[in-house]
Structure 1
Amino acid sequence: MSIIRKLSVFSLVAVLAVVSFGVVPSNQPVAAQDTTLTIWHSWQDAEADLLETWVENFEENSDVTVELRFIPFDDLRTTYENAVATGEGPDLLIGQADWAGPLSSAGLIKPLGDLIADTDLEGHLSEAAWDLMAVAGEPYGVPVTLDGVALYYNRDFIDDDEVPTDFDEMVELGNELTEGDDVGLLFNPGFYHTAGIYFALGGQLFDEEFNNLWNTDDAAVRYLERHLQVFETNKAMYTGDNVLFRNGQAAMIVDGSWNLNTYREDLGDKLGLALLPEVDGVRWAPFFGGKGFYISSITDNEEAALEFLTFITSPEQLALGAAIAGHIPPSDAVEVEDPYIATFSQQFALGVALPTQGMDPYWGSLGDAITAVTEGGEDPATAAQAAQEAIEELLASSSES
């Protein structure tokens, strides 16, 4: 379990005051003059504003010029893979943390261990953050924000001191508050959103050798029983659709940090955020992931890339990420004042880092098991066993290929 202990962010006014002095880390690579660094990304809206701000601040303190290219998220990874495979593409790619596994296996990104050793860049991020984009202990990416799920609530329905801290209480309260057009709880049934229940129950997915551990104890069955509990209590609550919450017609929703700014705009001061409840006396331990930068394996601008990454991971620039785009900083050195970001930081400290390898056999198999138990009426033990067989079959076929 990867733990992020203490994350925070300065107020925007204080951050801008520091940034205006053009503070540049002392022990960082310095690129040759007249270097142009290219970055491919899919960031939009507030994140696009943040990226442009980072570039402007960096260029004020460096001889390096940065060029940005936007590619829609659904096309970004494939476009990058095809380009680098033919000797083209950018110097830097902004992507999901779990891209580290496939991109490193294909030889499309640089390993960073030797490049960052004993540098300011290495010290800018927490150890757990470096682990998030590592493969077999080797860092391949530089995370700039963490993401994951927590419990949002609407203060029109629930006071701050009434937020449920136990899973059964959450389901019961959600059912009580479901009336007319209002729904008390929106419970996304996907495995990513609910994996923390399985981990809280003591479950594991695989060992260090990627041998399957699903359904090797009772956690798998108990996890599926929790899905059935919500589904049978009130089917209206068993959905990942957030429209009712955005419209002020839902009391609670289990959802991700990526929707924080959207919900702030929709609900204003009515929006509350809390830790996910305990499951059988153990705190829900959700997956947390993140986004960050990868250095292309074919770049000729390695020094410029490292200079840029060192700059944007300074506490001042990561604080801008929180202030402008609602990023949850991957650093212990950034102080948090925003209560929502502080809550997410606390939640991720209880969570499990999304693995960069080994997950492919699980997503579909466990999704099928969840559907079989709820919509199909299958016994949880039977569904857990079927998922185990599907996972092990996929593992066997992948080892043969």
Structure 2
Amino acid sequence: MKRLPCLAAALPVSLACLLSSCSLLGLRKQVESLEAQGGIAIQVTPAPKGPAPTYALAWRMDGDKRKDSAGFQEVREDGLAAFHLRLGEVYRVGAFTDENDNHKYDAGEPLGVLRDISPRPLSDGVTVSQILPVALTRDHGLPKGTAIERPKENLELGGKVNVALGDVASLNEARFAPDTGGSGLWRPLDFLTTNTLGIYFTEPYDPRRIPVVFVYGIGGSPQDWHYFINNFDRTKYQLWFYHYPSGMRLGRVSNVLAQGLRGLKKRHGFSRCHVVAHSMGGLVSRPAITEAVAEEGVNFIPEFISISTPWGGHKAAEAGIRHLKKPVPSWIDVAPNSDYLVKMYNTPLPKGTTHHLIYGSIKGGPFYLRGENDGVVTVQSETDLRVKQAAKSWRHFIHGHVEILNADETLKTVEALLDGKG
């Protein structure tokens, strides 16, 4: 299915046509599978060093016997590993350094195990993710020569989640293309294993420059930011972007963004970074900023700029929820006056974080959007007073919802605002 750039294109004019399409059958199966899965993330210490790989996996126990496993993966250099696993099961999650490279655990090799772990639901809009520590040690009381093979993999249990945190990548990679990167709207669970969730760098980290994190909207992809990233001032700023499945509940992907920002701050020690978000990305970013700052205990995100964000929600999401038995999960949070939005309205940005609001409009927008709009979102939603009144500034441009990201005046305004000259 061709990538749909935004929410209004996902469910606007011809709901009946969409209802008869095979894509909605696939969506229903995808959402049902997502509802049956939970997430687990671990931080392995010490992080892998040297040539010997460290592997992580999850498995079940049948009495004192190891039963089928899922999510076997090599642990990243930063010690991170993640899984999606079937709910209703209790797992052991562990990691070991395979010093003799035989894909087995041999007595004396570094090993760490967590017992009685239950995954947290992926489809729950309230439950937040948690990164569990796994410490590797050598002494586990096993006789010399003991070797333990990993249990047979059971794909019905789940698998690994591909994650990125500070990986250097090019926007031109296939995983960031609209059809691939944007597929997380309709196939959020598939995204977690076939794509890679996380915060990417466009170049190696530079402590002399301020990070700017770009967050796209629903159905979008990192390539939505091509014009910005190709033309942004790199003498002062280093450019990062968040890649996520936009069909997942917003509380989940917002929490992952918050945890990622905190993890990168801990790793690199920067004192500040800025966040620039488009469309639904603003709804993802604002709670993430609040959470990250609160958890860190220091405000390291002084500037937040939103562009064409549906702060008042979108009625297309409301229509989708009403007409579909299994709607896109993120629509639940984008619907006007959703629990997610109400909580966001009632939670101010941290003291010291400045919000600048940019919005657009065009003449002759689609007939199903009543009132002034940018072709996708109404100006009434873009400038919802519950958010606009707390913003330090707002700017209006005569540009469409997608076009606004390719306009030089938008880019120059964002740069001026971050430079304190707006």
TM-score range, shorter chain: under 0.3
Does 1 or 2 have the higher relative contact order (CA < 8 Å, sep 6+)? 1
Q: TM-score, normalised by structure 1?
A: 0.22
Q: Quick check: which one's helix share is greater?
A: 1
Q: Quick check: which one's strand share is greater?
A: 2
Q: TM-score, normalised by structure 2?
A: 0.22
